[in-house]
Amino acid sequence: MRSNRLVMVAMGAFALTTLTQCFTKKKDEGKRLYETHCQSCHMDDGSGLKSLIPPLAQADYLQTQRDQLPCIIRHGMDGSIVVNGVEYNKEMPGVEHLRVDHITNLLNYIQTNFGNDNPRYTMQEVEELLEACPPTR
Centroid of chain to Cα 70: 9
Pairing of β 92-93 and β 86-88:
unpaired
**What's the chain's average pLDDT?**
87
Side chain identity, residue 96: E
Cβ atoms within 10 Å of 61's Cβ, excluding its own: 18
pLDDT digits (tens, 9 = 90+) for 62-88: 999 999 999 999 999 999 999 999 999
**Cα gap 71→107, rounded to integer Å:** 11
Amino acid 22: pLDDT: 42
**Cα gap 6→69, rounded to integer Å:** 50
Pairing of β 81-83 and β 86-88:
antiparallel
Q: Which fold has domain 29-131?
A: Cytochrome Bc1 Complex; Chain D, domain 2 (1.10.760)
| Mean pLDDT within 46-60 | 96
| Mean pLDDT within 42-61 | 96
What DSSP designation does 67 have? Answer: G
What DSSP designation does 83 have? Answer: E
Is the pLDDT reported for residue 101 higher than 60? yes
Amino acid 3: pLDDT: 64
Terminal CA-CA length for the chain? 66
pLDDT digits (tens, 9 = 90+) for 123-135: 999 999 999 997 6
